């Protein structure tokens, strides 16, 4: 990206490939999960925010369909992935509707 004129702060690293590679770089102040570590796909466990986030750090979990009720549903079933993030004991999390069809879950790791 630097070759394209986009500047990043020195502390920002963009990784591609298997999301589990992030473990060697953590813990993070900000962790954005978009495409892995969300726990949405079989064989893809959710990222361990207690290991990957500093206390007070923020996780962003992208690509949800906005919930319209409680408990949240996906394809007619309880959305266990979304509940994992919204009810995680180490996080205070909220779902943010970004437009008519996408939403994101944003959580902050508790200090204690």
Question: pLDDT tens for residues 25-65?
Answer: 889 999 988 867 777 877 778 889 999 999 999 999 988 88
Dihedral, CA of residue 71, residue 72, residue 75 and residue 79, to nearest 10: -90
Mean of the pLDDT values across residues 12-16? Answer: 76
- Per-residue tokens: 77: 């079933």
Give residues with Cβ within 8 angstroms of 49, minimum separation 6. Answer: 31, 57, 59, 88, 90, 91, 107, 109
What pLDDT was estimated at residue 1?
A: 39
What pLDDT was estimated at residue 44?
A: 79
Whether the Cβ atoms of residue 28 and residue 11 lie closer than 8 Å to each other: no
What pLDDT was estimated at residue 84?
A: 92
């Amino acid at each position: 990206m630097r070759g394209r004129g986009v500047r990043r702060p020195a502390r920002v690293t963009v990784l591609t490939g298997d999301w589990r590679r992030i473990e060697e770089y953590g813990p993070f102040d900000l962790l954005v999960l978009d495409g892995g570590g969300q726990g949405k796909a079989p064989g893809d466990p959710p990222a361990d925010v207690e290991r990957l986030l500093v206390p007070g750090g923020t996780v962003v979990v992208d690509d949800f369909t906005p919930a319209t009720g409680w408990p949240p549903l996906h394809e007619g079933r309880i959305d266990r992935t979304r509940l994992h993030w919204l009810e995680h004991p180490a996080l205070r999390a909220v779902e943010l509707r970004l437009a008519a069809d996408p939403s994101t879950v944003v959580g902050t790791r508790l200090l204690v």
